[in-house]
Each structure stands twice: as C-alpha cells, then as structure tokens.
C-alpha cells in the first residue's frame, strides 16, 4: 500500500488522483488531519485515516500496512517544522514502511540563502539516518502566479526586487511525477531533482505576459528596501516581507539556475512551461 499525507492539499491531492489512475484504490491510503476533507477519496475506495504530524500515535496508525509513505513538507509557520518531520519519519519507520518519500525543493542545503531550504536539508538528513530507503522529491518552484507577479494586468508593470532564474514547475507535473516514482520500477534513492528545462526570470514573465495579451508589459526593478516599504504599506508584516525578499536575493545569485532532464524523462513529455502556466491563469 502507498499512504500519502497532505492529500487534502493541492500537491499531494493531485498525486493521489494520479495514483488512482495507476493502481487500484485499495492499494492507496490517505493520512489526513481532517478526514472529512478526504471523503471524496474514501468514496472511491481509498483508505482514509486520521493522522497529524503533531500526534505520533495517530500518525503511526494511519501508516499501518504501508509499503511506501509520501510525506508532504509541513507548511505551518508557527510550528517546529523539523520536529514535525522527525515525528512523521519515525511514525513511518515504526509502521514498517520500506520507503519514505518527501516533497522537498530544488536547492535544499543547510547553508542555502533561502531559509526554508535548510529545513528541507535537515529533513533529508533525518531520512538518510532513518534506516529505510528514502527519496526526496526536489521539486521546482510553484505557487500563486497572481500573487508572485502582482497586479500587472491592471498596471502593465511587473515590479519587484532584482531577481534571477527560477525553475518554475507546474504543480500538476510535480504531482504526476511523484505518482510515477511511487509506482514505477526505476530506482530513485536519495534526492532527485524534478524541474523544467528552462528556469525563468521576471523579465521572462513580462515577455510572456506581453505576448499572451498583446499589451505592453514592463518589468520594473525595485530597490530592496523600497520594496519592503511598499509591502509593509499594504499591510504585509515586515518579517514576512523580508522573508519573501530572501527568495529574490537567492535567485539573483544564480542559486536556482539549474537544469535536470529527469522530470521530462519521467513524464515522457516536455513539462509545461512557465508561459503555458501563465496562459492558464489568464484563461481561468
């Protein structure tokens, strides 16, 4: 059995959907903090059990019978995330899982310039010490493009700090790749990098936006401290703004300007480009 955490969220929920296209429903399990949100999976024959990274006993029960467990990285900004991940790994080992998979991010390293990557690196180190086989799915970046690009449709301007190339992956491609890894015969031990072939910058997004709309869209570089002031003026807490700024600062060092063919190989096709993802948002 394959048991998936975070299946009521966008990424691992999509992974479960892809798993159901590849294996019978009774071979898939879901560990959910709120089982009512996973009822749509239970109705299709998926085993749904309550589990929380803050409740080791319930989590271990939700993993019972699993050959493989897919752990989603915690997104709780108030929690001891590394501690939560430690609890999840120990629960999977105690339940007898033979492999643990984890949704990480490209660039994970203890000394990474973007703080969340140290959490991923710490989690990967715990997986390496767990005593069972493990795979870290180092996905490219994905998220809310509307929030990332700002109100360009109204202003004709994509304004933000100086940036650099980022491998912007389609969440749907990342989910499909995870399902392929979980159900495939290809050995995937340790970290694997799942990114599109062409990292992009905000200049690229401005060009895509102009081509897709037929409008002039300008990329404007904003001084770091000016950007922080603009963010706080709209109600964003300064620590949150500075946290976001650290990503821009990391990208402009070229830290994320990486290339890896594995995602395309797993999918058997080219991953969806950043331009295609932007077109989807415009059509929504």
**Confidence class for position 147, pLDDT limits 50, 70, 90:** confident
Does residue 52 lie in a domain region? yes
- Condensed to tens digits (0 to 9), the pLDDT of residues 62-84 reads 999 999 999 999 988 788 999 99
How many angstroms separate the CA atoms of 258 and 180, rounded? 22
Q: CATH number for the domain including 30?
A: 3.40.50.720
Does residue 28 lie in a domain region? yes
Does residue 40 lie in a domain region? yes
Judge whether 174 and 139 are in contact, CB under 8 Å: yes
Query: What CA–CA distances, in Å, run from 211 to 190, 230, 275, 282?
Result: 40, 28, 9, 12
Does residue 155 lie in a domain region? no
Query: What CA–CA distances, in Å, run from 193 to 99, 143, 178, 190?
Result: 18, 18, 11, 10
Residue 14 neighbours by CB distance under 10 Å: 19
How many angstroms separate the CA atoms of 208 and 147, rounded? 16
Does residue 265 lie in a domain region? no
Does residue 119 lie in a domain region? yes
**Confidence class for position 188, pLDDT limits 50, 70, 90:** confident
Measuring CA to CA, which residue among 37, 33, 26, 81 is closest to residue 58? Answer: 33
- Which residue shows structure tokens 């899982």? 97
* Count of domains for the chain: 1
**Helix (H/G/I), strand (E/B), else coil: 278:** helix
- Condensed to tens digits (0 to 9), the pLDDT of residues 26-51 reads 999 999 999 999 999 999 999 999 99
Does residue 215 lie in a domain region? no
Backbone torsions φ then ψ of 72, nearest 5 degrees = -85, 145
Contacts of 231 (CB under 8 A, 6+ apart): 238, 240, 241, 244
Backbone torsions φ then ψ of 93, nearest 5 degrees = -65, -45
Query: What letter would DSSP give residue 209?
Result: H
Indicate the length of the chain as a whole number.
284
* Domain that includes residue 75, residue range: 2-142+169-194
Q: Classify strands 2-5 and 68-71 as parallel, antiparallel or unpaired.
A: parallel
CA 27 from centre of chain: 24
> What's the CA angle centered on 259, arms 280 and 168, to 5 degrees?
25
pTM, rounded to two decimals: 0.94
How many angstroms separate the CA atoms of 44 and 71, rounded? 22
- Condensed to tens digits (0 to 9), the pLDDT of residues 163-180 reads 999 999 999 999 999 999
Res. 266: pLDDT tops 90: yes
What pLDDT, on a 0 to 100 scale, did the predictor assign at position 284?
84
Six token digits for residue 40: 């749509």
Query: Residue 136: beta bridge partners?
Result: 102, 191
Does residue 231 lie in a domain region? no
Query: What CA–CA distances, in Å, run from 63 to 95, 180, 228?
Result: 6, 20, 43
């Amino acid at each position: 059995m394959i048991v998936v955490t975070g299946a009521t969220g966008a990424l691992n929920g999509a992974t479960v959907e892809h798993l159901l296209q590849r294996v019978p429903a009774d071979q898939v399990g879901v560990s959910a903090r709120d089982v009512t949100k996973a009822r749509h999976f239970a109705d299709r024959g998926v085993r749904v059990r309550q589990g929380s990274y803050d409740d080791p006993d319930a989590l271990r029960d939700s993993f019972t019978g699993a050959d493989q467990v897919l752990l989603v990285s915690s997104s709780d900004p108030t929690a001891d995330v590394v501690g939560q991940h430690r609890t999840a790994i120990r629960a999977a080992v105690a339940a007898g899982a033979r492999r643990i998979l984890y949704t990480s991010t490209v660039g994970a390293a203890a000394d990474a310039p973007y703080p969340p990557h140290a959490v991923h690196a710490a989690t990967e180190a715990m997986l390496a010490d767990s005593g069972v086989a493990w795979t870290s799915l180092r996905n490219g970046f994905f998220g809310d493009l509307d929030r990332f690009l700002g109100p360009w449709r109204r202003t004709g301007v994509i304004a933000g700090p100086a940036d650099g190339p980022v491998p912007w992956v389609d969440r749907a491609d990342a989910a499909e790749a995870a399902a392929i890894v979980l159900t495939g015969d290809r050995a995937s031990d340790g970290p694997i990098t799942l990114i599109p072939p062409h990292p992009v910058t905000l200049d690229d997004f401005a060009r895509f936006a102009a081509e897709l709309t037929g409008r002039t869209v300008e990329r404007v570089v904003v001084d770091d401290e000016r950007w922080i002031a603009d963010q706080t003026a709209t109600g964003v807490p300064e620590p949150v703004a500075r946290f976001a700024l650290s990503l821009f600062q990391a990208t402009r060092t070229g830290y994320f300007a990486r290339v890896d063919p594995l995602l395309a190989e797993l999918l058997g096709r080219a991953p969806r480009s950043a331009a295609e993802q932007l077109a989807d948002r415009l059509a929504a």
